[in-house]
């Protein structure tokens, strides 16, 4: 059932694929050089491609097993795209479809899917300001990756990965500064996942993942239970991101969780040894 698929929260594939050193999808910006006046070269000449290169190349090319030099591993290809997306987030709409198609020809085993999940998770929780883009990427891949092994599809494995951090919440909020910083990045990524991960019901309706809503409530509890400044700042950022959506959802269910959260914050501000 869909509920069972959501309960995920409550590296090493070495396959090769030919990825050209340059191409229309992954080109880095180049500095334009003024043409020499005496040059007879035409600016209307067709774009150059290496011999044997096809613009429509996919990983299904039957000859790629016979060629090794210059090709990337799955990890290298995915990490390059993630870095590219980090630097140029506007490319998401134009390049995500091709990225997913390439992965569908490549990610055909459980180990490769696990590796993909870990790479995306690490980027979303370690690179500043990538949590929103990471959540959008996760939503797209959860609907467009064709691999669906018994160990779990992309979304299920992603939520299982998040559960690892989630279950360590109490220890993390009491940890040293570096531990808390890493945990806070996870919290904000989970908040973005809650807002962006679309769950399609049996009747075609699109909803948010209830399991993530429950998880965010418990993360708030953990942060407010250890009210050092950085934990309180993270709790406020979490509420700024998701507070209105959480409140509306709780009200629809007849729950007064938001009132309880606000009261908890007021008590913390009065009692805790935190900076004004």
pLDDT at 202 over 80: no
The terminus-to-terminus CA distance of the chain in angstroms comes to 48
Count CB atoms within 10 A of the CB of residue 47. Answer: 6
SS3 content of the chain, % helix, strand, coil (to 5): 60, 5, 40
Q: Of 270 and 12, which is predicted with more confidence?
A: 270
Give me the chain's average pLDDT, please.
Answer: 81
Structure confidence at residue 269 as a pLDDT band (50, 70, 90): confident
Long-range contacts, stretch 165-170, CB < 8 angstroms, 24+ apart: 165/125, 166/9, 166/190, 166/215, 166/218, 166/219, 169/218, 169/219, 169/222, 170/222, 170/225, 170/226
Residues 235-244: tens digit of each pLDDT: 999 999 999 9
CA distances from 235 to 212, 265, 276 (A): 16, 9, 16
Domain boundaries, the chain: 74-244
Residues 34-46: tens digit of each pLDDT: 444 444 444 444 4
> What integer pLDDT is reported at residue 203 of this predicted model?
78
CATH code 2.40.110.10 for 74-244: no
> What integer pLDDT is reported at residue 20 of this predicted model?
44
Q: How many helices (H) and strands (E) does the chain have?
A: 11, 4
Residues 123-169: tens digit of each pLDDT: 999 998 999 999 999 999 999 999 988 889 999 999 999 999 999 99
> What integer pLDDT is reported at residue 70 of this predicted model?
58
């Amino acid at each position: 059932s869909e509920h069972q698929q959501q309960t995920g929260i409550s590296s090493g594939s070495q396959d090769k694929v030919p990825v050209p050193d340059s191409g229309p999808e992954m080109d880095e910006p180049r500095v334009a050089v003024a043409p020499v006046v005496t040059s007879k070269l035409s600016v209307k000449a067709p774009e150059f491609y290496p011999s044997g290169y096809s613009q429509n190349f996919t990983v299904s090319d039957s000859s790629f097993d016979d060629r090794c030099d210059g090709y990337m591993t799955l990890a290298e290809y995915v990490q390059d795209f993630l870095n590219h997306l980090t630097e140029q987030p506007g490319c998401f709409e134009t390049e995500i479809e091709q990225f997913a198609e390439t992965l569908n020809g490549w990610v055909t085993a459980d180990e490769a899917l696990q590796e993909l999940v870990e790479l995306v998770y690490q980027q979303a929780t370690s690179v500043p300001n990538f949590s929103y883009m990471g959540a959008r990427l996760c939503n797209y891949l959860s609907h467009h990756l064709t691999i669906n092994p018994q160990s779990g599809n992309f979304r299920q494995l992603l939520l299982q990965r998040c559960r690892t951090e989630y279950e360590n919440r109490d220890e993390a909020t009491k940890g040293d500064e570096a531990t808390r910083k890493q945990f806070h990045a996870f919290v904000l990524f989970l908040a973005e996942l809650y807002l962006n991960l679309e769950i399609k019901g049996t009747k075609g309706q699109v909803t948010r993942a209830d399991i993530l809503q429950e998880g965010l409530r418990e993360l708030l509890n953990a942060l407010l239970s250890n009210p050092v400044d950085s934990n309180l700042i993270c709790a406020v950022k979490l509420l700024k991101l998701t507070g209105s959506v959480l409140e509306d959802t709780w009200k629809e269910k007849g729950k007064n969780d938001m009132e309880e959260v606000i009261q908890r914050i007021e008590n913390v501000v009065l009692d805790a040894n935190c900076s004004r």
